[in-house]
Amino acid sequence: IAEKGESLRGVPQVSYEDIGGMSDEIRKVREMIELPMRHPEIFEKLGVEAPKGVLLYGVPGTGKTLLAKAVANETNAHFISISGPEIMSKFYGESEARLREIFKEAKEKAPSIIFVDEIDSIAPKREEVTGEVERRVVSQMLSLMDGLEGRGKVIVIAATNRPNALDPALRRPGRFDREIEIKVPDKKGRLEILLIHTRNMPLHEDINLEKIAGSSHGYVGADLEYLCKEAAMKCLRRLLPEINLSDEKIPPETLDKLIVNAEDYQL
């Protein structure tokens, strides 16, 4: 698994079933991205360009990256993930060349999805941009997007927590002209996310996920995932005294005791 901010390429292993509380967003993404990728002929017949760029916005940890990966997987598209800060710092001095390479790779391996996380750090409003380098990177990004054919072969998905901090030039027609808000999940959404992150966990019958969903107001997907992992770790710690590290194999009767219970799930 790539570290956050590290480039990631290939077809991701995430599907829509791995995303909770986002049925509206998934429907929009299917219409805006999957449809043109699978059936460019519809757009050709209508005489309109397929979208080239879609902006996902919402607070961190709500699943923007997850959604982008799932679309790439469902459309069997080549997925290239980059992050704004990575482009600006890791490739400092070569940022524009790096962007050109990424777009070239995307065209060669099409259908492709380029995912740009934290795009606001590449393309903040120009009045906020101080350096010449940043200005050149923004221009390069815009011209690369303008150079895409708009036939659904290469689609750029960008994510940001601060949509209003973006250079408005990026949101003009033919660029990121579609937007999807990724909301903080409601109770039903939180329950769906909890069900996803506990599907491979042995849960005691005293656990009431609906109750946990009800009392975790404000938790986003990443928080709920963390909560589930922590519960598993608490369960493990409880049993640790019974585990003999030098045993070649943990006895099945000990493994059977690894059951996450309601106490492990403390909000």
193 binds ligand ATP (CB under 6 A): yes
73 binds ligand ATP (CB under 6 A): no
Closest CA to 123 of 156, 167, 83: 167
Q: Which of these segments, 62-70, 100-108, 208-216, 230-238, binds ligand ATP (CB under 6 A)?
A: 62-70
> By C-beta, is 60 or 168 nearer to ligand ATP?
60
Closest CA to 113 of 57, 139, 86, 74: 74
E-state strands within 142-214: 154-160, 178-181
3 state DSSP class of 3: coil
> By C-beta, is 145 or 157 nearer to ligand ATP?
157
124 binds ligand ATP (CB under 6 A): no
Single residue of 28, 52, 64, 190 touching ligand ATP by CB under 6 A: 64
61 binds ligand ATP (CB under 6 A): yes
Count residues contacting ligand ATP (CB under 6 A)? 19
C-alpha angle 90-92-96 in degrees, rounded to nearest 5: 110
Residues from 143 through 162 that contact ligand ATP (CB under 6 A): 159, 161
Nearest distance from C-beta of residue 70 to ligand ATP, angstroms: 10
Q: In sequence order, what are the residues at sequence separation of 6 or more whose Cβ sits closer than 8 angstroms to the Cβ of residue 135?
A: 126, 129
Nearest distance from C-beta of residue 32 to ligand ATP, angstroms: 18
C-alpha 103/C-alpha 109 separation (Å) is 10
Across the strands, what pairs with 54? Answer: 157, 178
Across the strands, what pairs with 151? Answer: none
Nearest distance from C-beta of residue 60 to ligand ATP, angstroms: 3
Nearest distance from C-beta of residue 107 to ligand ATP, angstroms: 25
Closest CA to 54 of 144, 179, 183: 179
Residues from 194 through 223 that contact ligand ATP (CB under 6 A): 196, 221-222
Residues in contact with ligand ATP by CB under 6 A are: 19-22, 60-66, 117, 159, 161, 193, 196, 221-222, 225
